[in-house]
Structures are given as structure tokens and as C-alpha cells.
Amino acid sequence: MLWTDTKRIIKSGFVNFWRNGFVSFASVLVMTMTLFVLGLLIFVGATLKASLNQIKDKVDVNVYFVTNALEEDILELKKSLETLPEVAFVEYVSKEKALEQFKTRHKDDQLTLQALDELGENPLGANLNIKAKEISQYEGIVEFLKNESILSATDDIPIIDDVNPFKNKNAIDKLTKIIDSSKILGFIITTILVIASIIITFSTIKLAIYTARDEISVMKLVGASNSYIRGPFVFEGIMYGIISAIITLILFYPLTIWLGPITENFFGGMNLFDYYINTFSKIFIIILGVGILLGAVSSYLAVRKYLKNRE
């Protein structure tokens, strides 16, 4: 009996969908726009997050030491820094390695390399590259380095020549604000489109109910339950959501192929097409789930209101 009722509900839902072809098309169109914007928000969020992570990876604090600083004093400071809860890791760069890195960076500048050779000695001191666990913790590390008790070795001779505070702070702050603003704007736009989808689907189901009002009256007379009457219309709404989700996912395929190289060059090396393929199951579940939910809820509310008015 249950299977028979289910088949009848599904068949009636299909009939209602094709019988109200133009209005069904309008519902699918608006719902597709809603799901498309939702998908765009997912892609924009992932792209901006990749950019932010790329900038964060380049952020550090550099501590430069005087050329006559003893290695044991530098390593002692390194050990002290590593005990701080804010510090993720500390890299020690010796004088010799600093010189090699300098020569590598200026390998095409023969004048600079010639001047360096004429000095006859290494003018560079060792340095420490410090990475914090969170961006907000760099200021605390810089304050720690400014403490006079660690600026000198045991014989009170200064060993720190300069401390370069972390860079890109302004860029990180601006990008974070952009991400927060995009989330708010996306939420507003999505909410508006969700409301529009619900209203249009609601109106579509109401029209379908009006068309089938005589059939509904007959079903009520023969004792059909409200859930049985409601079934075909809810299924029709679910069809709107499924079709809209499939169209949206198909549209994203060529769009991400086109945008892939662009995002890879400008947004932290993230290829949008690769992201779409790698997270397709997640995106599929979100888009399809939201589509089905919109269609089912809209249809349920429309039929519920009609049946309530008939009581």
C-alpha cells in the first residue's frame, strides 16, 4: 500500500510539473539563480582564503645580529623564543648562510658582488626568522624582542642589530575585511534570492493546486489524508530543486575551466577548476540539499495554507 501511494504521488508530481510548464520554468530559473549565487559564494570564499593563506605564509619577524655576536648567545635567544606559546618555529641563519643567500639574491648584480669581494670579510651577521602561530601574535613577539634583558649577551654587549617587524600587516587586514564584507554581502544577496525562490515556488504550487482543485475536492470526499494530498505538490517542489541544482552544477563546469588559470595566477596558486573537481562531492551535497529544501519547504507551506483554508 505504501509503495502504491508513493508511486501515485511521484506520478502526480511529474504530471503537475509538466502541466504548469511555463510557471515551472520560472521557478526553476529563479531557484537556479539562487543556487548559482550560493555556489559563487563558496568559490569566492575559497579563493580569498587561499590568497590570505599565501600572504600569511610570507609573514615573519626577522632578528638581525651584529657581526661579532657569539653563536652560543644567538642560540640561547633562539631557545628562549621557542619557549613562547605564540611562536610556531624559529629558523637560525648563520653568517655564512646569510652571505650565501645574499650572493644568490644579487647574482646578476656584478657591481655589488665585486664590492663584497673587495671587503675581504663577511659583513653580514646571523639572523633568526620567527614564525608565529597566529597573525595577531606577532606584536607580542616583537615586544618580547624589545625587552632590554635579551638585547645583550651575558657581558652586556648588544648582540641584536635590528628587528624587522612582520610585513604585510596592512594587506592582511584589508583582505580580512574584504572576506568579512563579502560574507555579509553574499548572505544578504542569498537571503533575498532565497525569499524570491520561496515566493515564486509558493505561487507556482498555488497555481497547481488551483488547477487541481476539483481533484483535491474528490480526494477529500473519498477520505484521502492531508499528507497524501500534499505529497504530489511537495514532490513537484523537490523536482524544482533537483533540476535547478543539476543546471547550476553544469554551469559551474565551463565557468571554472575558464576562471581556473586566472585564479591560479592571481590568487595564491589556487586553480578554481581543480578546487571544483576536488570538492565536487561537497559542493554537490550543498547545492542539491539547499535546492531540495527550498522546493520542499515552499511547496509544503503552499499546500498547508490551502488545506487549512479548506477546513
CA–CA separation, 311 vs 309, rounded Å? 6
What contacts 24+ positions apart, CB below 8 Å, involve 302-308? 302/201, 302/202, 302/203, 302/205, 302/206, 302/209, 302/233, 303/205, 303/209, 303/229, 303/230, 303/233, 303/234, 304/230, 306/206, 306/209, 307/226, 307/229, 307/230
pLDDT at 108: 79
Would you tell me how many other CB atoms lie within 10 Å of the CB of residue 150? 17
Overall pTM > 0.85: no
CA–CA separation, 293 vs 289, rounded Å? 6
How confident is the prediction along the chain (311 residues), in pLDDT tens digits per residue? 556 656 766 666 666 666 666 767 877 888 888 888 888 888 888 887 787 777 777 777 888 888 888 888 888 888 888 888 888 888 888 888 888 888 888 777 777 777 777 777 778 888 888 888 877 777 788 778 776 445 554 455 677 777 776 665 666 677 677 767 777 877 787 788 777 777 777 777 676 666 666 666 666 666 666 676 677 777 888 888 899 999 999 999 999 999 888 888 776 668 889 999 999 999 999 999 988 888 888 877 777 776 676 65
* Domains and their CATH numbers in the chain: 2-55+171-310 (no CATH), 60-167 (3.30.70.3040)
Q: Give the sign of the dihedral formed by CA 27, CA 32, CA 37, CA 38.
A: positive
